[in-house]
Structure 1
């Protein structure tokens, strides 16, 4: 266990929910934590099996607050881990990040400064290296950027906002649920589309395992869900066209997907971090989603996505539903000026 010479960002804390079944990435995470705890207070809420938890205790820097998650409601364990840290924290400004996210001091300061203007800040992730599956997955990110905003593996949020709402539901698409809960309660969101925060790409095997689960997230976004459900019938119709018409229609569809991705890549200086080749993977991603969204429908009919020995049926709640639960809570909790 190593120690850190700490010059911390005041009033801020970094929350890292962790639940590993193997430690293949431990050395890299330890190196990151050693740097991170020089910049900001760090809490790792670790739901890993006992043997791994003890090993993490031995390897993590001594400055890291390494704790077990408190038992929470059934569902996404990441939410229970985050809320464990929120309840333990005395910092007002919180950065929540997955274990593959890699902030720099400048990125941390920028995302935390955003909380001076908003209750929740959504930066933009990009991959640190570019194997084929990172380029493929980035095409999805670029299409998200073209239409609105992407959903990264990290957010900054005001602790007071989470206290006012009592937390957020442990659904599958937990980051979207957190954003919607805060905004439904009257909080302000800042989409920091040009604030780029690195993350390590997953293994190709992990990427492939996540295809249907990512598609299932779109049950929380009905408009997008409908469009994606149309893709497979549209592709089938195109493939049934005769000869040159089929080729022309396929080329037009592929060009449309690539052009949408490229518009997202060029938005807010995205070309500085996203290689041009990532836009070319958009047609492949569209075919993937056309198939996987129907596989997600089949999972929905069977009770939801398998998750930690159970099934999660709810991808996320609508903004209207959350307004009924939380409307005005954050505004009411703010001190009068």
Structure 2
């Protein structure tokens, strides 16, 4: 399926960065904002590998001392930039993404969080799919897999069972993003906002469930710090939010009705997660213990959903990077009514 490409905001006229190098005609944009450099050595090795295959732009919103250190580490590997100061969205990641998109040297782009690790096959597949799509949505998996990443894999498997997961990376058409005027960065769930904005603009989405892209797990400390924030994202999907809000009352009701029903409910969640694990070759990257831990993730999300609801209506939003964000993401209907379609 293809879509007409808008003339406005087309590919840049500057000489592509990969001419004569044999690299893919792709711009890889990495928005970065670090408070320490614990992962710098590993990221540098990845950027070295990546720069041999695609043009790389790192948009670095780290503090000045870290920014200067990165500039010294990566001068021959990437184009290293600060976010455009004219962009002042509450979600700083969006400032970095839009800066990179505006300055990209290629029409086909990959935007990825700093913990995403592509390989040759996944890079080539995204590049190929962007010939007919405005947005490509891969599937992330954690590797290595400490206990907390295995716990969080339950979320991924359940998402795969009922639809598609939300990755930390997209393939994008630069002209489409520019023609639609970017996307709102005053939201928490910025990837969903971008996805819905492309849809509302009439763009074509490709979401192959077997396009697997590795992701490094967070530290256990960061994992715990993200629990309520990720539950807050569900406010952008009311049916999903209502489902998790109902879990605790439903568990209490089942326990009072017949306690034997609780193990049945737990087994049903495991079975649903396992169906997501078996989808499109998922058993090659997702361990079975992710399915076994899925009920624990559901319980966690059920508790954190009530905390997220309290922040939304009691505090006016969730704290994020020193600011408070109220909106998780705009609805698809709102975006469709406020965006001009591609066609």
Q: Which band: TM-score by shorter chain?
A: over 0.9
Q: For 2:127 and 2:39, locate their aligned partners in 1 and report how far apart those are by CA, in whole Å.
A: 27
2:261 equivalent among 249, 255, 259: 249
TM-score, scaled relative to structure 1:
0.93
1:321 and 1:73, CA in 2 relative to 1: closer, same or farther beyond 3 A? farther
2:320 match:
307
Number of residues of Structure 1 aligned to a counterpart in Structure 2? 322
Secondary structure of the 1:156 match is strand
Establish whether residue 208 from structure 1 lines up as the match of residue 251 from structure 2: no
Matches within 5 A, 1:92-241: 92-170=107-185, 171-241=187-257
8 Å CA contact 2:274, 2:291 repeated in 1: yes
TM-superposed deviation, 1:215 = 0.4
TM-superposed deviation, 1:61 = 4.8
1:315 and 1:176, CA in 2 relative to 1: closer, same or farther beyond 3 A? same
TM-superposed deviation, 1:237 = 2.4
Q: For 1:159 and 1:325, locate their aligned partners in 2 and report how far apart those are by CA, in whole Å.
A: 20
8 Å CA contact 2:231, 2:301 repeated in 1: yes
TM-superposed deviation, 1:63 = 3.0
1:28 equivalent among 39, 42, 64: 42
TM-superposed deviation, 1:239 = 4.0
Establish whether residue 263 from structure 1 lines up as the match of residue 275 from structure 2: yes
1:316 equivalent among 329, 336, 342: 329
Q: For 2:254 and 2:40, locate their aligned partners in 1 and report how far apart those are by CA, in whole Å.
A: 47
Structure 2 unaligned spans of 5+: 1-17
2:28 equivalent among 4, 9, 14: 14
CA deviation profile, 1:172-218 (whole Å, cap 9, x unmatched): 11111111101110100011210000011111111111010000000
Structure 1 unaligned spans of 5+: 332-337
TM-score, scaled relative to structure 2:
0.91
Q: For 1:290 and 1:265, locate their aligned partners in 2 and report how far apart those are by CA, in whole Å.
A: 22
CA deviation profile, 1:223-265 (whole Å, cap 9, x unmatched): 1111111112112323445xxx31x122011101111100100
2:287 equivalent among 275, 280, 286: 275
Q: For 2:74 and 2:159, locate their aligned partners in 1 and report how far apart those are by CA, in whole Å.
A: 35
- What is the aligned-residue RMSD (CA, Å)? 1.4
